[in-house]
Structure 1
Amino acid sequence: MARGDLEAVPGCTDLYYHDTGMYDVDGYGAVYIYDTDHPAVIDTGIGTNVELLIESIAEVGIEATELEYIIPTHIHLDHAGGAGFLTEAYPNATVLTHEIGVPHLIDPERLIAGTKAAVESQWEFYVDPKPVPEDRISGLEDGDEIDLGDRTLTAHEAPGHAPHQLVFEDTHDNAVFTADAAGIWVAPRNEVRETTPPSQFNLDACRRDISMIQSLNPDHLCFAHFGPREYDEALLSNYKRTLVEWVQAVREKRSKFDTDEEVIQYFIANTETVDVWGQRKTQAEVRLNTRGVLGYLDYMADQ
């Protein structure tokens, strides 16, 4: 997949995924498009290249007046940054997201500030999100269902990555949209990499979220980063271990270095994904994830 590409999700019906090309990394951001009786998109990208997403929605055969739902899995801007732009392009669509996130998409000022603090120099790849009109957005809770016509999407809270995160279960094709609860799928290595950004990462909650996805026993995992793949329970079990080992590695290095910045620089210097994502994105990702764990360790020390 490359920026702007559109493909059908293997093994699923009337479901497609679009590559947003975020951070100038092919495949990094997947938006899923349902061409069902009640059409929907799951996630929106960061708002850049939104015109390419609109082209993909049209290519699927969905008219501007027909799209009914815009569904960010959570309000981190790499998932929800395009929501306001899409409400302008699709006048009959309703934005559905976790109820915690609704006020922040209506008035994104704090969301913008928090994102800038978290992503640092990566902000250059973003655009300021447009507010979602208050009468065009509704909140979801755990267990809520979205009627797409021939199937429903069931929302499952997954707060380990962020308290406003939802995983969605497709009851027709037995697919699960993992948001960031199952990590970042790295196809060339057949592995899942950690995503532990500041400031709300929680290890125990993340492990519970993974167990929840395993309990759904899906046939397909629709990753928000790098697209869909067949379900593999062992892959998710390995990701649980990856998270534990990652947190332990950061804890250990923190005990050996004088400053947190030295810890961050150590992991940047020893990362192994430069050949997959490129040097700049890899280093930025490692920095973000290390800072998230350091914040989590501070939080746990205060408990």
Structure 2
Amino acid sequence: MAIGDCYPVETGECTDLFYLDTGMYDTAEYGAVYILTGERSALIDTGIGQRHDLILDAMDSVGIAPEELDIIAPTHVHLDHAGGAGYLARDCPNATVVVHERGARHLADPTRLIKGTKAAVGDQWQFYEEPLPVPEDRMQPLTDGDVVDLGDHQLHAHHAPGHASHQLVFEDPANDAVFTADAAGIYVPTIDAVRETSPPSEFNLEQCLADIELLKDIDPKTLLYAHFGPTPTADRFAEYADVLTDWVATVEAKRTELESDGAVVEYFAENTSMVDVWGELKARAETAMNTRGVLQYLDAQPE
């Protein structure tokens, strides 16, 4: 799949659903947004703001004019998922932006979000567009258990705070599918494997494992990854629990060997196996960020 491609989701029982490669970080098959085209239309996740025009083009290709979009649903307010929300709210004047109540204020005033993102992503900030504020009267805050009614589809909001306190996963019962946010890791289609996502500042291993149990209880047939694409659920939850647990243990062990946290971050960034998949810049930056998140988590543990 190439940057700008938009395809129907044909996994499992999915209908009325398309996904777009947004070209996030100038990397193919890393960032996706989803378009539901039922009785009421919805956009799930919004990318980093870069190339937000591709989202409008994809909507047009599936028959949704900007003024016809009903719902914009960032799964959480990390800017790789919500950075385009302000642009799309501006261009889609009748859409309501639904987001977890803990994240709504950051979309209304993204100042702190920008500062935190710059600290977390480092050099990757070059790929972001400065986010536009979302007007408060255009937002509908959500909490665990809320339902966004789309007519023939619904988005059931489940709070999954292990990756971020404002993270929701959206269940679409009609499609027997879940939009996973970052709660099920990063799915890499080219290697058919799940990778860790453990960025600062809120990553918490125990809560992430609890979020996996939440997804198990929902028991969807299809997982819809923002990173990246649809896949049958199969054994992905067990796979990710193992990946995440092993990753944290590996970082912790390396910390005992090396002289500083900076050396630990550099070690994992230099030795990542993802260069051939995502390219050197993205692979090393992603690994460095995830390592910093684990180190911060370890610092927060009681002695």
Q: TM-score, normalization: structure 2?
A: 0.98
Among 20, 25, 28, the residue aligned to 1:26: 28
Cross-structure match for 1:137: 139
User: Aligned AA for 1:155?
Assistant: A
Aligned residue runs from structure 1 range 5-24, under 5 A: 5-11=5-11, 12-24=14-26
Aligned residue runs from structure 1 range 80-159, under 5 A: 80-159=82-161
Deviates more, 1:183-192 or 1:33-42: 183-192
Alignment of 1:270 with 2:277, yes or no, is no
- Cα deviation 1:141-172 (Å, max 9, x = unaligned): 00100111112110001000000000010010
Deviates more, 1:289-298 or 1:58-67: 58-67
User: Aligned AA for 1:111?
Assistant: L
Cross-structure match for 1:171: 173
Shift of 1:241: 1.1
Cross-structure match for 2:283: 282
Shift of 1:237: 0.3
Alignment of 1:66 with 2:71, yes or no, is no
Cross-structure match for 1:192: 194
CA distance in 2, matches of 1:77, 1:237: 28
Q: Secondary structure at the match of 2:289?
A: helix
Contact 2:3–2:28 (8 Å) recurs in 1: yes
Alignment of 1:260 with 2:261, yes or no, is yes
CA distance in 2, matches of 1:103, 1:159: 17
Q: TM-score, normalization: structure 1?
A: 0.98
Cross-structure match for 1:57: 59
- Cα deviation 1:256-286 (Å, max 9, x = unaligned): 1111011111112221111111111000001
CA distance in 2, matches of 1:189, 1:65: 39
CA distance in 1, matches of 2:259, 2:104: 40
Q: Secondary structure at the match of 2:198?
A: coil
Shift of 1:207: 0.5
CA distance in 2, matches of 1:160, 1:211: 12
Contact 2:29–2:189 (8 Å) recurs in 1: no
Cross-structure match for 1:248: 249
CA distance in 2, matches of 1:84, 1:240: 34
Structure 2 unaligned segments of length 5 or more: list them.
Answer: none
Shift of 1:79: 0.2
User: Aligned AA for 2:260?
Assistant: T
User: Aligned AA for 1:185?
Assistant: Y
Q: How many residues align?
A: 301
Q: Secondary structure at the match of 2:301?
A: helix
Contact 2:73–2:99 (8 Å) recurs in 1: yes
CA distance in 1, matches of 2:136, 2:302: 39
Shift of 1:17: 0.5
CA distance in 2, matches of 1:288, 1:301: 23
Give the CA RMSD over aligned residues: 0.9
Contact 2:189–2:229 (8 Å) recurs in 1: no
CA distance in 1, matches of 2:65, 2:185: 33
- Cα deviation 1:195-254 (Å, max 9, x = unaligned): 00000000000001111111111111000112111111x221021011111111111111
